[in-house]
């Protein structure tokens, strides 16, 4: 497959919509910046990308994305520091995972250099949409969908790659409690759990709704075979603090290799916080909670960064967690945000500056 030329066409919006946006009262993912990136795959190769005003796209009703679910996406963020510099956080890891997801869904991989060049161009056009201050960011949603018309059960021959951006504040508001899954499953061995396939998220909405009826905001998924091992939360990887030790499940073909998860593990090792990456039993966490040894549960993901969990439910039992003065969740969130917003040294080389055009 030929590489796409780096010549990216840019069509600027005639007027910005930014003055109509209340940045203090944003609902996550409901407002979008002025421009988007679009690139089509046809005739066996990706075509020249274009950045143009945000707006609807037109698809044939028989486009294969609607019938066979060939769709993957990523979640990334851009941050602005006190000097109005714009930064990305580990974008190459997201691009790598984007193409791993694509491969699993039989979608052509998108060239890394075009992805990055296009993203930087897009962010420079919409720099004003990235607000300064801890908690403020521009959420970046790259995705690919199958566009070939036809309902034959086969991979599409044409695709559309896009990047859209949404100004964001904190993802969750209020206290979060989770339910340990004991019936429904998110993913199985040999499946697509490790990919950011659209269907993974669509399939979890129904059991999550059932959990919400019982007062929980998210599900912590367990292994599909036995429901004995805790694996991943609805939109996050999950961590457990038992005593001073941090536990999290290993990645597999059922569990997403989260960029924030990787970062938390690296920070734990850097600051000598004991961390064990191993299978974590439901019974182990329930017993720790009963003994008062379970100090914290928190989720880690791009949208939420670090999200503390106040309590959990399992087989009719409910457990509440006490606030910790030396909270690991608070520590990791602070360390991550200091790197993301260019307020601390980046020992890991995670930040990427988006230089002005």
Q: Quick: pLDDT tens for 324-351.
A: 999 999 999 999 999 999 999 999 999 9
Considering the domain architecture, whether residues 233 and 205 belong to the same structural domain is answered as: yes
What is the extent of the structural domain holding 151?
Answer: 9-168
Tally of structural domains, the chain: 2
Q: What angle do CA 344, 119, 86 make, to 5 degrees?
A: 30
Considering the domain architecture, whether residues 140 and 195 belong to the same structural domain is answered as: no
pTM of the predicted structure, to 2 decimals: 0.95
Considering the domain architecture, whether residues 43 and 129 belong to the same structural domain is answered as: yes
Residue 320 falls within a domain, yes or no?
yes
Mean pLDDT of 81-99: 98
- Which domain-ending residue is among 137, 168, 199? 168
Task: Indicate the pLDDT class of residue 1, thresholds 50, 70 and 90.
Answer: very low
Distance, CA of 313 to CA of 298 (rounded, Å): 15
Considering the domain architecture, whether residues 191 and 78 belong to the same structural domain is answered as: no
Considering the domain architecture, whether residues 70 and 137 belong to the same structural domain is answered as: yes
Which CATH number covers residue 228? Answer: 3.20.10.10
Distance, CA of 161 to CA of 46 (rounded, Å): 9
* pLDDT at residue 4 is higher than 50: no
Considering the domain architecture, whether residues 15 and 156 belong to the same structural domain is answered as: yes
Considering the domain architecture, whether residues 155 and 281 belong to the same structural domain is answered as: no
* pLDDT at residue 2 is higher than 50: no
Task: Indicate the pLDDT class of residue 171, thresholds 50, 70 and 90.
Answer: low
Mean pLDDT, the chain, whole residue set: 95
Considering the domain architecture, whether residues 164 and 308 belong to the same structural domain is answered as: no
Residue 129 falls within a domain, yes or no?
yes
Which CATH number covers residue 25? Answer: 3.30.470.10
pLDDT digits (tens, 9 = 90+) for 193-237: 999 999 999 999 999 999 999 999 999 999 999 999 999 998 899
pLDDT of residue 174: 74
Residue 1 falls within a domain, yes or no?
no
Residue 350 falls within a domain, yes or no?
no
Cα–Cα separations (whole angstroms), residue 110 to 19, 96, 130, 156, 344: 34, 10, 25, 15, 33
pLDDT of residue 173: 63
Q: Are 8 and 120 in contact (CB under 8 A)?
A: no
Residue 76 falls within a domain, yes or no?
yes
* pLDDT at residue 109 is higher than 60: yes
Considering the domain architecture, whether residues 118 and 206 belong to the same structural domain is answered as: no
Considering the domain architecture, whether residues 181 and 330 belong to the same structural domain is answered as: yes
Task: Indicate the pLDDT class of residue 51, thresholds 50, 70 and 90.
Answer: very high
Partners of 246 in the β-ladder: 241, 275
- Which domain-ending residue is among 134, 168, 202? 168
Q: Are 303 and 138 in contact (CB under 8 A)?
A: no
Considering the domain architecture, whether residues 229 and 207 belong to the same structural domain is answered as: yes
pLDDT of residue 257: 95
Considering the domain architecture, whether residues 252 and 162 belong to the same structural domain is answered as: no
* pLDDT at residue 34 is higher than 50: yes
pLDDT of residue 206: 97
Residue 318 falls within a domain, yes or no?
yes
Residue 357 falls within a domain, yes or no?
no
pLDDT digits (tens, 9 = 90+) for 231-256: 999 889 999 999 999 999 999 999 99
Residue 2 falls within a domain, yes or no?
no
């Amino acid at each position: 497959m030929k590489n796409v030329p780096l010549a990216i066409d840019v069509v600027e919006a005639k007027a910005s919509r930014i003055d109509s946006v209340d940045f203090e009262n944003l609902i996550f993912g409901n407002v979008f910046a002025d421009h988007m990136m679009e690139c089509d795959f046809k005739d066996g190769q990706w075509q020249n990308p274009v950045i143009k005003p945000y707006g609807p796209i037109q698809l044939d009703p028989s486009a294969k994305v609607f019938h066979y679910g060939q769709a993957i996406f990523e979640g990334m963020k851009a941050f602005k520091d006190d000097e109005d510099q714009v930064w990305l956080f580990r974008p190459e890891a997201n691009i790598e995972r984007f193409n791993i997801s694509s491969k699993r869904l039989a979608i052509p991989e998108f060239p890394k250099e075009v992805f990055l060049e296009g993203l930087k161009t897009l962010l420079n056009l919409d720099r004003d949409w990235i607000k300064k201050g801890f908690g403020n960011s521009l959420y970046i949603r790259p995705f690919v969908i199958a566009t070939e018309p036809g309902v034959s059960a086969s991979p599409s021959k044409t695709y559309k790659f896009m990047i859209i951006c949404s100004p964001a504040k904190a993802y969750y508001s209020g206290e979060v409690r989770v339910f340990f899954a004991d019936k429904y499953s998110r993913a199985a061995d040999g499946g697509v759990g490790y990919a950011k396939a659209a269907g993974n998220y669509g399939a979890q909405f129904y059991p999550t709704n059932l959990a919400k009826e019982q007062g929980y905001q998210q599900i912590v998924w367990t292994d599909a075979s036995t429901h004995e091992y805790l694996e991943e939360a609805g939109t996050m990887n999950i961590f457990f603090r038992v005593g001073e030790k941090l536990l999290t499940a290993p990645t597999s073909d059922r569990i997403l290799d989260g960029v924030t998860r990787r970062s938390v593990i690296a920070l734990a090792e850097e600051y000598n916080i004991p961390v064990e990456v191993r299978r974590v039993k439901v019974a182990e966490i329930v017993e720790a909670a009963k003994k008062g040894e379970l100090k914290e549960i928190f989720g880690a993901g791009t949208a939420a960064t670090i999200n503390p969990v106040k309590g959990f439910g399992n087989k009719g039992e409910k457990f509440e967690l006490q606030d910790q003065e030396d909270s690991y969740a608070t520590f990791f969130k602070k360390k991550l945000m200091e790197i993301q917003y260019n307020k601390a040294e980046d020992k890991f080389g995670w930040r990427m500056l988006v230089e002005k055009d």
